[in-house]
Structure 1
């Protein structure tokens, strides 16, 4: 998939070193919200994680993880995932992170719009969510900028990597609501 400035590319082992480099560069900005971070800081864990992403993608289970590459430079700028919540509906969640040096350029919003379009148009999604920690104002701003509607704040439902109790903000977009006439 691609957009004006980005390529979204299915996972493969050739991306693993670039992902590890971006994670290491961005660990201080990711640490407050990403509980997976401590398990992604070594080459062996990065290889294992990439292999899991490839397997999930090939089997269309758990999540479809895409590497986000900047068209103009070919640099990996982040990762975006379409998490499969219920394929029978179909219902998905979008998750994302961006390398620190590429923040503030609108790349995440562009990637969200591209992946959301794929979910609704190609996978016939009925619902796409973005969930984020209440304190993650930058991630919340992405959801709002992309036109997601805040549906709920789940009070005291998560523990941040710091150990602090937090809340989750749930944003969603839905396909046209259909009812059957009886």
Structure 2
């Protein structure tokens, strides 16, 4: 568990599954614009299976270290943030995140990014953390810039949005706190 001023970042747990499913369902319209996994996370079975896989990955330090974002004051689950393990030996990670719609615009993701990157650089020996965002996802790009990530590249037609449309991917990196 990781803590910041207003947030607790909790490792994946089946106890959080109902709140995770409710948050995804609440925010389906916004999340499905950019995240391909949303249609596969809308039933209780899918949600349970996904969290079981996240627990396995977390415990084995494989693929992704996912944390669920909980607001301290309300104990409400408001989103998720994770480190994709790109190359453990080189200390290379990719950071991804989502918030439920009702929690956006309050600086929660910025705070969560700062806390998780601190953990990555100080405890996981990260040398480089990337944030990738669809060119049309200006909110995610704003988070990267607000958190001090540097623009590195635009990858033309690199990703397909859930709508089927090709989109450029914008890559931001950070190599130290």
Which bin holds the TM-score, normalised by the shorter protein? over 0.9
**SS across alignment from 2:27:** helix
- Structure 1 counterpart of 2:113: 112
Alpha-carbon displacement from aligned partner over 1:68-100 (angstroms, at most 9, x marks no partner): 000000000100001100001011011000000
Q: Quick check: which has more Rg, 1 or 2?
A: 1
- Residue 141 of structure 1 is matched in structure 2 by 142
Partner of 1:4: 5
- Segments of 5+ residues of structure 1 without an aligned counterpart are 177-182
What is aligned with 2:81? 80
Asked whether 1:69 is paired with 2:77, we answer: no
Which residue does 2:166 correspond to in 1? Answer: 165
* Divergent runs of 4+, >4 A: none
Please state how far the C-alpha of 1:175 moved relative to its aligned partner: 3.6
Aligned length: 176
Measure, in 1, the Cα distance between the counterparts of 2:134 and 2:101: 18
- Look up the match of 1:180: none
Matched residue, 1:179: none
- Cross-structure match for 2:127: 126
3-state SS in 1 of match to 2:52: helix
* Distance (whole Å) between structure 2 residues aligned to residue 23 and residue 88 of structure 1: 33
Cα separation, 1, equivalents of 2:158 and 2:134: 10
Deviation at 1:147, TM superposition (A): 0.4
Q: Over aligned residue pairs, what C-alpha RMSD do you find? A: 0.9
Q: TM-score if structure 1 supplies the norm length?
A: 0.95
